Amino acid sequence: MAQYFTCVVSQRQTSITNQFVTCLIGIIAWIPLAAFADEMAIERHVDELLRVVSPDVGYSTWFSGSGFLPYPESEQLGTFIIGATQRSSSDALKKIVEQGAASVPVLLKHIDDPRKINLPEMTAGGIVWMAFPDEYDFNEVTRPQPPRDVNRGSFLETPGQHPNSHSLTIGDLCFVALGQIVNRKFSATRYQPTGGIIVNSPTYSERLRTAIIADWEGLTVEKHKQSLIDDFRHPDYASRREGAYLRLSFYYPNTVEELVVEEFSKPTYDAAVVADFCQDMLYKSNSANERQSLYEQFIKEHGEVYASGVEDQLFEDLYYLEATEEKRVNPPLTAFSNQPRELLIQLFHKPTTIRSDQRPFVQTAEQLERSNLIRTLIHDDSKKIGDLVKQLYLKSPDDDYVAPDCLRCLANRGYGEFLVEQLEKIELSNHETNSLHSSYIDAVSISRDTLVREKLYQIALNTVNEDYFMFALPAFERDQDEVVLQTARKLLAGLPAETDRGLALLTMIRDRFPKEAKDVFVSFLEPKTTGRIETMCRVLWYGHPLGSEVLSPFLEDERELHGFIKPIRVRNRVREALRNGESEK
């Protein structure tokens, strides 16, 4: 019996052990299979890049800019050709970016992929020039030694060394996607004023490709997270920190609160005050004793935090001084000569060999940069951050920069009753727009809080101010279009006969209510005043089908329009609008 029992137990233990081993093998097998499945999905998205048919930030010849694809509102255009900013984001590129560090090995694998995407070849010729400088963005604080053989400048290459055409490739878009993930402004192509196309193609340039692989090969999730944290804590410029926040909030949201609270603990200074002091006082004095006295008095009046502001400004100016000395800028700098270097040596005890690339990392923050960071903080739900931002707002509720940015941040976190209290300050019966109050409405309009949206709705219904109405429009749902149109008509009807207002309302009606637009436009023009005709020309400037029908009655109008550099008659302005419309077709 004992022997039988022992045998049964032994068999049962063996069965359990086998089950455990089988389960463990399944788990171990699942991990690489899951990773393999993710890799295959990313590979499919890379192949889908072949179908890209529209330019976007990072691969355009018409504009340049920045942004983070998972957050569309973060996009900011830099330089661009007026009227040539049409673009659409690639869904495949966005999906690659959303995978974060997991996408990087696949992107590096395809960084030399020569397959051409479905965009026209770009060519130089005539007034259009092309350069291949291998621009490679990096954080100059966390990496003081620049990568080799890249960032050569647009005019340092031998003429004829590079082709005069380029077709965007899969590898080029992988370069753009990598920059999106790791917080680097990697642009495969971009516009450069005037008439320039800058090409940074890893499929064309082995030097660029080498730098990319050297920096990002072997990137793990932990290394990626730490790199973004370093960008936030030690940025080489303000936008680097903002970009780090966007990516941390998306990939590693648990890191955000500590970093932002830490940043908010730093004192701030006004860079404009510092710049004026340096330009108008320090640089105009040739006496070392007087400079010392001026500096000490300035710090006494504004506080010790401004010392780091002055030092930072001097390093900034030293950079441009060095560029002039090394003939890297044309025309040369004339606002100052050697003062930045002299003052760094005298006031901050720097060596006579001091250079701008030895600029220290300051433990203070510039007020406008702090405000811009606050404006970016809409992708986390930290109440601690929200409460700190609320305190900052209450210190400066009338500041045109800080106050709206604080309200925008709070609108993403709730704070409904508090936001409604701020909106109560707006005088709805005032025809003259208070720009601060317009900014209040605009900032708060992103809120989904019921109290806030009801308040915005009431502002839109009851204000006589066109700007306030337009900024409050997000409070209306699409099934409330009839109310929107009626309210817009009422506002237009309340305008004086001779007015230059109404542009925003009429443009909104043109785009949102095409069937009703003609009736509204004709009614608006009934007073036949020059201001209203000029406004309608601007509304219909780009070839709207109603242009000739609405504006043709004024083709023989000899009255003169005001507000132009050169005299212009109504008939000529109308013809310009109609002719411009024809050229757009």
Within-domain flag for 69 = yes
Of 363, 381, 401, the last residue of a domain is: 363
Q: What token pair was written down for 204?
A: 């064309």
Which residues constitute the domain of residue 160? Answer: 51-219
Q: What token pair was written down for 335?
A: 């606002």
Query: Are 59 and 206 found together in one domain?
Result: yes
Q: Looking at the DSSP assignment, which residues form a beta bridge with residue 197?
A: 130, 191
Q: From 331, 330, 351, 329, select the one nearest 342 (Cα to Cα).
A: 351
Contacting residues for 105 by C-beta, under 8 A, at least 6 apart: 39, 219
Query: Are 61 and 173 found together in one domain?
Result: yes
Between strands 196-199 and 189-192, the pairing is: antiparallel
Question: Locate tokens 């984001």: which residue?
Answer: 89
H or E element: which one contains 73? strand 71-80
Query: Are 68 and 209 found together in one domain?
Result: yes
Q: Looking at the DSSP assignment, which residues form a beta bridge with residue 71?
A: 68
- In this prediction, the residues of the chain whose per-residue pLDDT falls under 70 are 1-37, 80-86, 153-160, 580-585
- pLDDT for 140-151, tens place per residue? 889 878 898 898
Question: Locate tokens 């210190």: which residue?
Answer: 395
Q: Looking at the DSSP assignment, which residues form a beta bridge with residue 268?
A: 365
Backbone phi and psi for residue 365, each to the nearest 5 degrees, phi listed first:
-135, 140
Within-domain flag for 94 = yes
Query: Are 63 and 150 found together in one domain?
Result: yes
Q: What pLDDT is stored for residue 63 in this prediction?
A: 76
Query: Are 206 and 60 found together in one domain?
Result: yes
Q: Which pTM was predicted? A: 0.83
What distance in Å separates the CA atoms of residue 130 and residue 135, rounded to the nearest whole number?
13
What distance in Å separates the CA atoms of residue 443 and residue 378, rounded to the nearest whole number?
11
Query: Are 204 and 312 found together in one domain?
Result: no
Of 330, 346, 363, the last residue of a domain is: 363
Q: Looking at the DSSP assignment, which residues form a beta bridge with residue 192?
A: 196
Q: From 202, 198, 55, select the one nearest 130 (Cα to Cα).
A: 198
Q: What pLDDT is stored for residue 89 in this prediction?
A: 87
Q: What pLDDT is stored for residue 312 in this prediction?
A: 93
Within-domain flag for 497 = yes
Q: Which residue spans within 97-186 are E strands per DSSP? A: 122-123, 129-131, 165-166
Q: What token pair was written down for 536?
A: 């309608």
Q: From 119, 84, 121, 54, select the one nearest 195 (Cα to Cα).
A: 84
Within-domain flag for 304 = yes
Within-domain flag for 566 = yes
Query: Are 150 and 280 found together in one domain?
Result: no
What distance in Å separates the CA atoms of residue 96 and residue 176, rounded to the nearest whole number?
11
What distance in Å separates the CA atoms of residue 370 and residue 266, rounded to the nearest whole number?
10
Q: What token pair was written down for 72?
A: 């569309």
Query: Are 59 and 164 found together in one domain?
Result: yes
* Cβ-based burial of 407 (10 A; exposed 0-12, middle 13-18, buried ≥19): buried
Within-domain flag for 383 = no
Of 363, 395, 414, the last residue of a domain is: 363
Question: Locate tokens 């004095």: which residue?
Answer: 285
Q: Dihedral of the CA atoms 455, 457, 461, 467 (nearest 10)?
A: 90
Query: Are 313 and 198 found together in one domain?
Result: no
What distance in Å separates the CA atoms of residue 128 and residue 517, rounded to the nearest whole number?
40
Q: What pLDDT is stored for residue 379 in this prediction?
A: 96
Query: Are 197 and 64 found together in one domain?
Result: yes
* Cβ-based burial of 533 (10 A; exposed 0-12, middle 13-18, buried ≥19): buried
Q: From 206, 163, 209, 167, select the one nearest 186 (Cα to Cα).
A: 209
- What are the b/e assignments for 440-462, b being 16+ CB within 10 Å? bbbbbbebebebbbebbbebbbe
Within-domain flag for 489 = yes
Query: In total, how many domains does the chain have?
Result: 3
Query: Are 213 and 288 found together in one domain?
Result: no
